[in-house]
Chain A
Amino acid sequence: MIFAGAHLLSLIAALQAAEPTYRRVLPGVIQGRGADGTRIGTSTWLVNLGASSASFEFGFLPVSNASAPPAQARVLGPGETLRLNNVLQDLYGLSEGEGALFVRGDQPFELRGVNANVANPPGASGPGASGPGANGFQSSELLGPDASGHAIWLANRAEPNPEFRTDITAVLTAPNTAVTVSVYDATGALRGIEVVSSKEPAIWRASASQFLPDPEIPLGRVTFAVTAGEATGFLSVSGSAAGTGLVVQPERIVTATPEGANLLLNGVTAATDLRLFNPNETEQEITLEALGFPGGPATIHRMTVAPNGLLEIRGVLGAVGFVIPEGAVGALRLRAPLPFLAAGRGLPMAVSSEIGFATPNQPVTLVGLNESVNQPGVRSRIALLAGTRGAIGLLRLRNSRGVPIATSPIRLEANEWQGRAIGAWFPDAEIPPDARVDIELENGSAHGYGEIVDNVTQSRVVVAAAAVPTVAPATPTARRLVFSALPSSLTAETPFAATIQALRADNSVDTGFTGSVDLRVASGPGAFQAAVTVSQTAVAGNVSFRDLRLTVPGLYTFTALGAGLESAVSEPFEVAPVPTPSPTVIRLGTFASQNGYLAEGTLQIERAPNGSETLKLNRNFRVSGGAGAVTVWLARGSGALNTSTSVRVGTMTRVFAGEFTYPIPAPGSSAFTHVIVYCDAFRINFGAAPLRNP
Chain B
Amino acid sequence: MSKPILGLIILLPAIGAAQSGWTRTHGTGYSRFSFSTLGSSSFYTPFGNKISSARYRDFTGSLYSEYGITDDWTASVNFPFLRNHRLDSTSSLTAVGDAVVGIRRRLVRGKTPLALAVDFGLPVGDSQGTVSIRDLPDGTFRLPTGDGEFNTRVSLYTSRAFREGKSVVSGGGGYNFRTRGFTDEFSYTASYGQRLSRSVSISATLTGLEPARAANASRAVGFGVGEGVAFLGIGGEAQYRINKRHSVSAAYYKPLRGKNLLAGGVLVFGFGIAF
Contact = CB atoms under 8 A, between A and B. Distances in A.
B133 A681 contact: yes
Contacts of B242: none
A680 B89 contact: yes
Interface in A562-613: 595-598
Given A596-B46, A596-B47, A640-B51, A683 B142 contact: no
B45 A596 contact: yes
Contacts of A653: 138-140
B133 A680 contact: yes
Contacts of B43: 682, 684
Contacts of A679: 141
Interface stretch (A541-549, A622-630, A658-666): A622-630
Nearest to B135: A680
Given A596-B259, A681-B89, A628 B139 contact: yes
A681 B47 contact: no
A640 B260 CA distance: 17
B87 interface: yes
Interface in B20-74: 43, 45-49, 51-54
B139 A684 contact: no
Interface in A661-693: 679-684
Nearest to B222: A627
A599 to B, nearest CB: 12
A81 interface: no
A595 B53 CA distance: 11
B90 interface: yes
B180 to A, nearest CB: 13
Nearest to B54: A683
Contacts of B131: 681
A684 B53 contact: yes
A204 B89 CA distance: 121
A631 B141 contact: no
Contacts, number: 85
Nearest to A648: B136
Interface in A609-660: 624-629, 631, 640, 651, 653
B52 A640 contact: yes
A595 B141 contact: no
B124 interface: no
A626 B225 contact: yes
A208 B220 CA distance: 133
B222 A626 contact: yes
A596 B44 CA distance: 9
Interface string B113-151: 000000000000000001101011011111000000000
Given A596-B259, A680-B135, A683-B54, A628 B130 contact: yes
Interface string A204-230: 000000000000000000000000000
A628 B221 contact: no
A677 B232 CA distance: 30
Nearest to B223: A627
B260 A631 contact: no
Contact of A684 (B51, B130, B136, B225): B51
B224 interface: yes
A628 B47 CA distance: 20
Contact of A682 (B46, B48, B54): B54
B129 to A, nearest CB: 11
A595 B220 CA distance: 13
| Residue in A631, A653, A683 with the greatest tally of chain B CB atoms within 10 Å | A683
Given A596-B45, A625-B221, A627-B221, A683 B140 contact: no
A683 B42 CA distance: 10
Contact of A681 (B51, B52, B90, B225): B90
Given A626-B142, A628-B130, A653-B139, A681 B260 contact: no
Q: Interface of chain A, helix or strand or loop or mixed?
A: loop
Nearest to B52: A640
Contacts of A596: 45-49, 259-260
Interface string B158-169: 000000000000
Contacts of A683: 52-54, 89
Contacts of A684: 43, 45, 51, 53
A640 B223 CA distance: 18
Given A626-B222, A682-B53, A651 B136 contact: yes
A651 B47 contact: no
B45 to A, nearest CB: 4
Contacts of A651: 136, 138-139
A627 B223 CA distance: 6
Contacts of A627: 141-142, 221-224
B86 to A, nearest CB: 10
A596 B49 CA distance: 9
A682 B5 CA distance: 12
B43 to A, nearest CB: 7
A683 B90 CA distance: 11
Contacts of B53: 682-684
A155 B111 CA distance: 177
Nearest to A628: B141
B47 A595 contact: yes
Contacts of A680: 89, 133, 135-136, 139, 141
A143 B90 CA distance: 111
Contacts of B138: 629, 651, 653
Contacts of B130: 628
A626 B220 CA distance: 8
A640 B43 CA distance: 13
Interface in B209-226: 217, 220-225
A629 B133 contact: yes
B21 to A, nearest CB: 37
Contacts of A682: 43, 53-54, 87, 89, 141, 223
A624 B260 CA distance: 13
Interface in A22-57: none
Given A596-B260, A680-B133, A628 B89 contact: no
A681 B221 contact: no
Nearest to B225: A626
Contacts of B260: 596
A13 B193 CA distance: 140
Nearest to B87: A681
A494 B135 CA distance: 48
B224 A681 contact: no
A465 B51 CA distance: 121
A244 B52 CA distance: 139
A628 B87 CA distance: 13
Given A595-B45, A681-B87, A629 B54 contact: no
Nearest to A630: B139
Nearest to B56: A682
| Residue in A627, A651, A653, A684 with the greatest tally of chain B CB atoms within 10 Å | A627
A679 B223 CA distance: 11
Nearest to A653: B138
Contacts of B220: 598, 624
Interface in B200-242: 217, 220-225
B222 A595 contact: no
Interface string A149-160: 000000000000
Nearest to B136: A680
Nearest to A686: B222
Contacts of B52: 640, 683
B263 to A, nearest CB: 12
B49 to A, nearest CB: 8
Contacts of A624: 220-222
Closest 5 pairs between A and B when the two form their complex, measured CB to CB: A627-B222, A626-B221, A596-B46, A629-B139, A628-B141
24 contacts: A596-B260, A598-B217, A598-B221, A626-B222, A627-B142, A628-B130, A628-B133, A629-B133, A631-B139, A640-B51, A640-B52, A651-B139, A653-B140, A680-B89, A680-B133, A680-B135, A681-B54, A681-B89, A681-B90, A681-B139, A682-B89, A683-B89, A684-B43, A684-B53
Given A595-B47, A624-B221, A626-B222, 8 more contacts: A595-B46, A596-B260, A627-B141, A629-B139, A680-B139, A681-B141, A684-B51, A684-B53
